[in-house]
Amino acid sequence: MSDPVLQISQLSFSYKKNELILDGLSLEVFQDDKIGILGPNGAGKTTLFLLIAGVENPLAGEIYLKEQKVVPGTFNSKLGLVFQDSDDQVFNFSVFDDIAFGPRNMGLAHAQINQRVNEALRLLGIQHLARRAPQQLSGGEKRLVAIAGGILAMQSQLAIYDEPTSNLDLRYRRRLINFINTHKQEAVLIASHDLEFVLETCNRVVILDQGKIAADGMPQDIMGDRLLMEKHGLEVPHSLRKKFI
Amino acid sequence: MEKLINPEPNQSIFCHWEPRAKIIAFSLLLLSFTMVKSLALVMAMLLTSSIIFSLSGLPAKCLLHRWKIPAFPVLLIGLILLFFSKGQPQLYLGPLPITQEGLVAILLILSRLMCMLALIAVLLATTPLLLLINAMRDLGLPGILADMILFTLRYLYTLNDQLEQMKRALTVRGFSTQGLSNLKQYGILIGAILVRSFEQSDRVYRAMAVRGYKCESGPTSNITWNFQDKVLFYSFSFLAFLIALIQLYFNMPGV
């Protein structure tokens, strides 16, 4: 097996004293892994992503991304993160400027920035939105712009999606599934309550509960295990349930 | 707000003027207008701003709209000056004396206000706000301040949407938006918006940090002014200098 893209060891974190959100969590993510992270609300999925991105400071433990230690507070262009609420992420006055935000901070030349932005717009088929302002976009369009700016323009090796299908209609949800399934990425982490979406996009599933990894394996095996799913406040997805009838 | 952020482009010479040169030139002229104290220069100031406004190709209603906002407080101050300025009363309006000094003061204040607002209207209506703020950043406005202005404008829409949504949620539960009897509820509404905006600012900052935001200004692009930029810049600067010089050094009589 190749070296892991992401290596997390004994990671602990808390917002309040004596209330651990993550409690000694360890996880290895390998090349071509598309991991669905499942868990009830407050399980620590978003916190885990913020720690991987170096936005939060862990209490204990270490994170290595492509064999490089993640130092809290430092920018890591190897990673792209799409936030739960696109309005938090699309903060510039035009779609073009928003997608260019990351490459500009990476210190790229003007021509390279333009090339990256245009490529990101083309890959998602949203060239027509380039000059639009965020307030003129629909929820689905904003999500695509967030992906273009957060992942594609950064040319990140690890892509992280936090609740990517929330507030998306069926058409944009399907577009997102197709994109994740066809876009070449070293590794992908997806936190979602949309179990069918996870089933369609991921090749590995992790259940996160009470700050620890409760299960790790193939999507069908984990998500088809009714007792395991219910134990952690989850349900077997509808498409897998049919098999038991 | 939309017009402020992205004004409709027209074919006036000011629309194509390099934003940094435009900001400096307009600022110099505005500064010189603040120095005007003599009535002779008031005429020059009115003439200058009228020419600039007509060259901008803006409709007069745009100017009236800008004058509407500060009109009340300025008129109030003007009326106080009109009736309470020291001097020999020329006539009486009921019990209130009107002095020549008071008349000159109100004329001066109103002319300065009209001229300065006309210039500001031309500047804002011929430059997209984003270009204007980026140009100010290039001219030395601290990056963090420029970002704060931009984010305030960007998220005003979101905050307005949230406020409307909360008002609708209250209305469907019998809350009346009319009258003053629900002041407490309005207070709670504003408090909730403040808390939400604080939380959102935290999330936005995180999203920016992930994409490498370091709170620093971007690289300043090289200033390249074409012939028209230079002509306009030097004309404005010369006018500003002339007005200031006449007022200061020739010590024109003022109020």
Q: Kindly provide the ipTM of the predicted complex, given to two decimals.
A: 0.80
Tell me the whole-structure pTM to 2 decimals. Answer: 0.76
> Which residue from B minimizes the CA distance to A152?
B211
Residues of B in contact with A95 (CB under 8 A): none
Q: What is the dihedral of CA B87, B91, B97, B102, to 10 degrees?
A: -50
Residues in Cβ contact with A44 at an 8 Å cutoff, skipping those fewer than 6 apart: A13, A21, A22, A25, A208, A211
The per-residue pLDDT for A31 is 94
Residues of B in contact with A73 (CB under 8 A): 209
Q: Is the pLDDT of residue B67 over 80?
A: no
CA distance B221 to chain A (A): 11
Residue spans per domain, chain A:
1-78+186-245
The per-residue pLDDT for A225 is 93
Residues of A in contact with B211 (CB under 8 A): 75, 101-102, 105, 149-150, 154
The per-residue pLDDT for B183 is 79
| 3-class secondary-structure state, position B92 | strand
Tokens of A219: 């999507």
Q: Which B residues in the span 115-154 are in contact with A, Cβ-Cβ below 8 Å?
A: 129-130, 150-151, 153-154
Tokens of B208: 């920016």
Q: Which residues of B67-90 are buried (b: 16+ CB within 10 A; e: fewer)?
A: eeeebeebeeebeebbbebeeeee
pLDDT in tens, A130-178: 999 888 899 899 999 999 999 999 999 999 999 999 888 999 999 999 9
Nearest to A102 among B5, B153, B212 (CB): B212
Tokens of B182: 């629900």
The per-residue pLDDT for B255 is 45
Which whole-number Å values give the CA distances from B195 to B162, B200, B208, in the listed order? 12, 9, 20
Mutate one of A93, A137, A161 to test the B interface: name it (highest B CB count within 10 A). A93
The per-residue pLDDT for B129 is 83
Tokens of B185: 């509820």
Residues in Cβ contact with B92 at an 8 Å cutoff, skipping those fewer than 6 apart: B98
The per-residue pLDDT for A199 is 95
Query: Residue B139's Cα: distance from chain center in Å?
Result: 18
Q: Is the pLDDT of residue B218 over 60?
A: no
Q: What mean pLDDT is predicted for residues A30-40? A: 95
Dmax over Cα atoms in chain A, in whole Å?
A: 59
Q: What mean pLDDT is predicted for residues B174-202? A: 81
The per-residue pLDDT for A182 is 92
Q: Is the pLDDT of residue A194 over 60?
A: yes
Whether A199 and chain B come into contact, CB under 8 Å, resolves to no
Helices (H), chain B: 2-5, 19-35, 39-56, 60-84, 100-125, 129-138, 143-171, 183-210, 227-249
Q: Is the pLDDT of residue A64 over 60?
A: yes
The per-residue pLDDT for B221 is 59
Residues of A in contact with B203 (CB under 8 A): 83, 85, 88
Residues in Cβ contact with A32 at an 8 Å cutoff, skipping those fewer than 6 apart: A186, A187, A203
pLDDT in tens, A66-90: 999 999 988 888 999 999 989 888 9
User: A94 vs B130: CB contact, 8 Å cut-off?
Assistant: yes
Q: Is the pLDDT of residue A213 over 50?
A: yes
Residues of B in contact with A106 (CB under 8 A): 212
Whether A136 and chain B come into contact, CB under 8 Å, resolves to no
Question: Do the beta carbons of residue A4 and residue A28 sit within 8 Å?
Answer: yes
Q: What mean pLDDT is predicted for residues B64-81? A: 80
pLDDT in tens, B127-156: 888 888 888 988 888 888 888 888 888 888
Nearest to B211 among A73, A133, A154 (CB): A154
Rounded distance between C-alpha atoms, residue A29 and residue B47, angstroms: 72
What element of type H or E holds A233? none
Q: What mean pLDDT is predicted for residues A175-201? A: 94
Tokens of A9: 């060891």
The per-residue pLDDT for B81 is 81
Whether A39 and chain B come into contact, CB under 8 Å, resolves to no
- Quickly state the pLDDT bin for B185 (edges 50, 70, 90): confident
The per-residue pLDDT for B75 is 82
Domain A1-78+186-245: CATH superfamily, name plus number? P-loop containing nucleotide triphosphate hydrolases (3.40.50.300)
